[in-house]
Each structure stands twice: as structure tokens, then as C-alpha cells.
């Protein structure tokens, strides 16, 4: 949807006017408000958290100390590595396999008819239900985590890529045809660049899915990594310790999502200027 | 000069549209024939839906005719080719490419070396007066500038024939007139054969050697009107005040008016 409307708006010649209007917000003030809000929430959490039985809830300073506890023996660093490696491998594999599949489904009717039903089914099915089967296939180690991350991440990537290809205006493709471009040149020089914003959306949504997939994998398979710490601390009623990986996962998710967003403005710098017009 | 460049012979085109299972045939073009001499400018005009765009797309090879033959330079058209360059109504620039890269597009697809195509693209951007905006992206260009890039992109592949579908239709009156002047200059310089579609009768008579007047339902040629205004057509003010200009303009306007009022009653 995003791509379609941006392409249409390029035809209007009011760009400069609208661009000027959109830069009125002052970023410095935003940062102050964010900091004040964070401090306030922490404070409230600290005050109320201290009054509750530490089995049921925790509070920032306790979590902070638990963090150092976990850092000391290297437990946290090891767990982080155990989690991030399959996350990275599964996610990248999903991108490398998912993007070409999405491009082909979007571009060719035959491919769409042949495999789109599986993509839709895969996207709609709660794939978590397949984990016991995955354990049978891949065991309890690195492989099964990769497989689960891959399976949960690939579908949003495929679907967004497909949507992107379909949103490419016919006239834009016709420019290629009129200049006698081959099928592969049309794909490389028109479809892919025009679809990049949608691909990046898929990759961004994929990050969230991948992190969830990783934690679920660790809950249900080898009980290792950050998910393992959550389960073990929970079983020991050590709620403060349990919060440490939760917060790390949160920061990881936010950080990776921001990273993909950054990547988007590097690979599709023209898109920045175009999306600004929607503000 | 008396060399036939484009020959459209008895072209008919039927579209089959089906809605709710009912098939309907639309005769977009019926038995359309005309020819264009090398270096001539031809305007196709007529009310909406009389098949102008379809005719242009068939000449470009973007659409297949139902019957008839189109020849360009003596060769039968079976698909798009580098002997023809298309200029689209809304320019259709690729938004991720700079003006220069957009002009390079055709040459790139054709397999011209990077250095060579850069040179050529610069030359044609200069020809359309856009050298300074070379590195701008389409979002930074006005409508008129975009259309200049579109013209440069088509010229860059050095086609024999330029095909333009309402190239200035989306522009404001002033920009349109500037670009009309510009096109006349480019034509003087390059001597390209040009076929363009327009609703604007001033534009048709000012630019064209022949105006093909088309009627709708089914799309067909009503008349081909010769415009006897000498080239180079530098002095637009004198031309627009001339008898030939005003008589031909009135004549075509009247023909279209009669066609329109006769179909209203149906
Ligand atoms: N792809 C298509 N499918 C079905 N009908 C079409 C298609 N393209 C054009 N037509 C029909 O053919 C007729 C001529 O269209 P067009 O060539 O666009 O006319 P013009 O450019 O003169 O306005 C119209 O009735 C239009 O609805
Ligand atoms: Mg048209």
C-alpha cells in the first residue's frame, strides 16, 4: 500500500512545498520528553515494585543487580551468543530465500498459482504448533532454533515482497518494455528497486517475528540462551533475574528494527523523500 | 525528404472485455490507415476513447493489432524496438534514478558501455536544457522538467521515430507552451519523425504537418488535415496570428464538434 501511494504522489509537483512543512518538529524536544517519560516510569515501577512480593514482580534496581550477577560468571554473554547466532542465521536465511520467492510470486502468475496457497497457509497457521515435529527432525541444538526462526520469519518477508511487486505500476514496467528490456532487466532495473520499500517492511516485521521465534525455540527445545535463563529463573522464583533477558530481548528487538530502518535509508535513499510527503 | 517512414495499413483493434461473465467487444480502431514521411510531425487528435493511445501503442509494439500492418522504415512492427522511442504522458521516470541515470536507462538496457552512455545522456540532457539538474531525482523536478527528461531518455537511444502520448497534457499552460517551442527546436536539430497525441488543437496545428482527426465508436479516421505552415516554425506569435493556423484550427474544431454533438443524441 505504501509503495502504491508513493508512486502516485511522485506525479504531483508540490514536493518542495510539502517537504518544507514536514520538518517543523523539533527533535531535541522529543528526546527530553522521552527521557522524562522513561525516568518517571522507572520511578513508579521502583516504588510499586518494592511493595510487591519479589516472586510476583521485580523492580529496576533489583533487575540491575541481577544483571551484574549474570554478567559475573559469563552466563549472560554465553546465553546471548547461544541466542543470537541461530537468530542471525535463521533470519538471514529467511531473507535470502524469502525475497526471491516473493519476487517470483508477485511477477509470474504461474508461480503464484503454484505456491501462493502454501505461503498464505504458512502465514496463517500458528507454526509454533509444529515445534514438536521440528524437534524430531532437527534435534535439540542449533539446527532446530534456526529452523524455527526461519519458518516464522520467512512468511511476512515473502508476503510483503509479493505485495510490493504487485504494487509496481504497470506503466513503470511498460517503460522497460518500450526500451526493449529483457525479463531479467525489467526485474533487476525496475521491479526490484521499486519493491525495495516493501521488502524492507517485510524485513522489519521479520525482526520481531524472529526474536519471538528464537525465545519460543529456547523454551521448547534445549532450554538454553536467553530464553533458557527466563525459564530457569522462573522455575527458581528468581523474578529479577528473569527480567534481565526480557529487557535484553526488548533492546535487541528495538535495536535490530532500527538497524533495518537505517539500512532502508541507505539502500533506498529516494524513498525517504517520498514517504515524508505523507506526513 | 519524400521518404515514407511510418506506414499504418488498415489497422483494426478489438478489445474483448468480460464483466460478470458477459463478453463484450470494443472496436477501438477500425480500418485505420495513414503514413508519415521522414522528418514529419503528425498529430493524432479526437475525443476521448477514439483510439489514439491504442494506435500509438500498436506503433510502439506495446499492443498487438487485431488486423492490419504497421511498417516503420520498411520493416513490419512485431514488438518494441530501438527505431522507435516512446514518451509517456506522465514522463514515467524511475524515481530511484537521477535525471542523468533516467536518460541512460535505454542505453543501459541496450548494452552501451557506461562511459559512452553517460556521454550520450549528458548530451541529450543539455539538448533539452536540463544540464544543471543532471543529478536531481524526479521528486526534485517540476512536471515540465520531468517531461524534458522523458524526451531526453527517448532521444538518447537515437530512434528514427518519436511517439508521444499527450506529452504536455498534464502541464500548466505556460510550461506547455515552453515545451512546444522546445520540441520545435529539437525537431529542427534532429529531424526526427514524430507522431504525437493531443487534445489541444492549438498544439496540434502549431506543431504538426498533418493532423489526423479521429472519431470514436468505432475509433476511426475522419479526415487527415494538412497544415501548410513553413518550417522552421520559430515565430510562434506570427504563426498563431496567421490565417492558415486559425482556419485549420477552426476547421478541425468544427469537425470534432459535429462528431461530438452527433454522438450525444445516440
Ligand atoms: N486494455 C484495454 N482493454 C479494454 N479496452 C480498452 C483497453 N485499452 C483501450 N480500451 C478501449 O479502447 C477504446 C480506445 O481507447 P484509447 O486508445 O485509450 O482512446 P484515447 O486514447 O483516444 O482516449 C476505449 O473505448 C477504451 O475503453
Ligand atoms: Mg489516450
Among protein residues, the one with the nearest Cα to ligand 1's atom 17 is B51
Q: How far apart are CA A180 and CA A108, in angstroms?
A: 19
Answer yes or no: do B139 and A10 touch at CB < 8 A: yes
Predicted confidence at residue A125, as pLDDT, reads 86
**Ligand 2 centroid from CA B199, angstroms:** 9
First to last CA, chain A: 15
Strand, helix or coil for residue B248: helix
| A–B CB contacts, 8 A cutoff, strictly below | 68
Q: Is the pLDDT of residue A70 over 60?
A: yes
Q: Is the pLDDT of residue A49 over 60?
A: yes
Average pLDDT of every residue of chain A: 85
Identify the band that residue B266 occupies on the pLDDT scale cut at 50, 70 and 90: very low
**Ligand 1 centroid from CA B153, angstroms:** 26
Residue B62 CB less than 6 A away from ligand 1 = no
Chain segment A151-198, per-residue pLDDT in tens: 999 999 999 999 999 999 999 999 999 999 999 999 999 999 999 999
Predicted confidence at residue B60, as pLDDT, reads 97
Q: How far apart are CA B241 and CA B262, in angstroms?
A: 31
Identify the band that residue B165 occupies on the pLDDT scale cut at 50, 70 and 90: very high
Identify the band that residue B192 occupies on the pLDDT scale cut at 50, 70 and 90: very high
Work out the average pLDDT over A116-142: 88
Chain segment B103-150, per-residue pLDDT in tens: 999 999 999 999 999 999 999 999 999 999 999 999 999 999 999 999
Higher pLDDT, A139 or B196: B196
Work out the average pLDDT over A116-130: 88
Spell B129-142 as b/e; 16+ CB within 10 A means b: ebeebbebbbbbbe
Q: Is the pLDDT of residue A6 over 70?
A: no
Q: How far apart are CA B131 and CA A185, in angstroms?
A: 27
**Ligand 1 centroid from CA B27, angstroms:** 9
C-alpha cell at A53: 512480593
Q: How far apart are CA A261 and CA B253, in angstroms?
A: 56
- Tell whether A174 is within 8 A of chain B (Cβ): yes
Q: Is the pLDDT of residue B260 over 90?
A: no
Strand, helix or coil for residue B54: helix
Who among A7, A174, A185 is closest to B109 (CB)? A185
Residue B28 CB less than 6 A away from ligand 1 = yes
- Tell whether B216 is within 8 A of chain A (Cβ): no
CA angle B81–B85–B90, rounded 5-degree value: 130
Best of B103, B106, B109 to disrupt the A interface by mutation (most A CBs within 10 Å)? B109
Residue B15 CB less than 6 A away from ligand 1 = yes
Share of chain A above pLDDT 90, in %: 52
Who among B139, B157, B170 is closest to A179 (CB)? B157
Cβ A160 vs Cβ A1: under 8 Å? no
**pTM metric for this prediction:** 0.84
Q: What ipTM was predicted for this assembly? A: 0.92
Residues forming a β-bridge with B87: B164
Predicted confidence at residue A1, as pLDDT, reads 38
Predicted confidence at residue B21, as pLDDT, reads 84
Q: How far apart are CA A79 and CA A178, in angstroms?
A: 56
What would the DSSP string read from start to end of B223-245?
A: EEEE----SS---HHHHHHSHHH
Q: Name the one residue in this structure whose C-alpha cell is 510539502.
A: A18
Identify the band that residue A204 occupies on the pLDDT scale cut at 50, 70 and 90: very high
Amino acid at each position: 500500500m505504501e509503495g502504491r501511494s508513493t508512486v502516485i504522489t511522485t506525479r504531483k509537483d508540490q514536493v518542495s512545498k510539502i517537504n518544507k512543512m514536514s520538518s517543523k518538529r523539533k527533535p531535541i524536544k522529543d528526546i527530553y520528553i522521552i527521557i522524562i517519560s522513561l525516568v518517571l516510569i522507572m520511578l513508579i515501577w521502583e516504588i510499586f515494585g518494592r511493595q510487591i512480593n519479589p516472586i510476583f514482580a521485580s523492580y529496576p534496581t533489583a533487575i540491575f543487580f541481577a544483571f551484574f550477577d549474570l554478567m559475573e560468571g559469563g552466563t549472560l554473554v554465553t546465553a546471548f551468543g547461544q541466542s543470537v547466532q541461530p537468530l542471525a542465521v535463521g533470519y538471514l536465511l529467511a531473507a535470502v530465500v524469502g525475497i526471491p520467492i516473493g519476487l517470483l510470486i508477485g511477477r509470474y502468475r504461474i508461480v503464484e498459482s503454484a505456491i501462493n496457497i502454501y505461503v498464505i497457509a504458512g502465514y496463517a497457521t500458528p507454526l509454533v504448533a509444529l515445534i514438536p515435529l521440528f524437534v524430531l527432525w532437527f534435534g535439540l541444538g542449533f539446527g532446530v532454533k534456526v529452523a524455527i526462526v526461519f519458518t516464522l520469519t520467512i512468511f511476512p518477508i515473502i508476503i510483503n515482497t509479493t505485495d510490493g511487486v504487485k504494487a509496481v505500476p504497470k506503466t513503470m514496467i511498460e517503460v522497460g518494455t518500450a526500451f526493449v528490456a529483457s525479463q531479467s532487466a525489467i526485474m533487476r532495473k525496475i521491479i526490484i528497486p521499486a519493491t525495495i520499500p516493501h521488502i524492507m517492511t517485510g524485513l522489519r516485521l521479520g525482526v520481531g517475528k524472529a526474536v519471538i521465534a528464537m525465545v519460543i525455540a529456547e523454551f521448547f527445545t534445549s532450554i538454553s540462551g536467553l530464553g533458557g535463563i527466563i525459564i530457569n529463573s522462573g522455575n527458581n522464583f528468581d523474578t529479577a533475574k528473569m527480567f534481565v533477558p526480557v529487557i535484553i530481548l526488548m533492546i535487541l528487538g528495538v535495536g535490530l528494527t532500527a538497524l533495518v530502518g537505517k539500512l532502508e535509508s541507505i539502500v533506498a535513499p529516494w524513498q525517504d523523500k517520498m514517504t515524508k510527503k505523507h506526513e | 525528404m519524400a521518404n515514407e517512414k511510418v506506414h499504418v495499413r488498415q489497422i483494426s483493434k478489438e478489445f474483448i472485455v468480460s464483466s460478470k461473465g458477459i463478453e463484450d467487444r470494443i472496436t477501438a480502431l477500425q480500418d485505420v490507415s495513414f503514413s508519415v514521411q521522414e522528418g514529419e510531425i503528425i498529430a493524432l487528435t479526437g475525443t476521448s476513447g477514439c483510439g489514439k493511445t491504442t494506435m500509438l501503442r500498436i506503433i510502439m509494439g506495446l499492443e498487438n493489432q487485431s488486423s492490419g500492418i504497421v511498417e516503420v522504415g520498411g520493416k513490419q512492427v512485431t514488438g518494441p524496438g530501438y527505431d522507435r522511442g516512446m514518451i509517456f504522458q506522465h514522463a514515467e521516470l524511475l524515481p530511484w534514478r537521477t535525471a542523468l541515470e533516467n536518460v541512460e536507462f535505454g542505453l543501459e538496457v541496450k548494452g552501451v558501455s557506461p562511459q559512452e552512455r553517460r556521454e550520450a545522456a549528458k548530451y541529450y540532457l543539455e539538448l533539452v536544457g536540463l544540464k544543471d539538474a543532471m543529478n536531481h531525482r524526479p521528486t526534485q523536478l517540476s512536471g515540465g522538467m520531468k517531461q524534458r527528461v522523458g524526451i531526453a531518455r527517448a532521444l538518447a537511444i537515437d530512434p528514427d521515430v518519436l511517439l508521444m502520448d499527450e506529452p504536455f497534457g498534464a502541464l500548466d499552460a505556460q510550461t506547455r507552451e515552453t515545451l512546444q517551442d522546445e520540441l520545435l527546436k529539437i525537431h529542427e536539430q534532429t529531424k526526427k519523425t514524430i507522431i504525437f497525441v493531443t487534445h489541444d488543437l492549438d498544439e496540434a496545428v502549431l506543431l504538426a504537418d498533418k493532423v489526423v482527426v479521429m472519431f470514436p465508436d468505432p475509433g476511426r479516421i475522419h479526415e487527415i488535415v494538412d497544415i501548410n505552415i513553413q518550417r522552421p516554425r520559430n515565430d510562434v506569435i506570427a504563426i498563431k496570428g496567421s490565417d492558415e493556423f486559425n482556419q485549420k484550427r477552426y476547421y478541425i474544431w468544427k469537425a470534432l464538434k459535429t462528431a461530438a454533438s452527433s454522438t450525444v443524441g445516440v
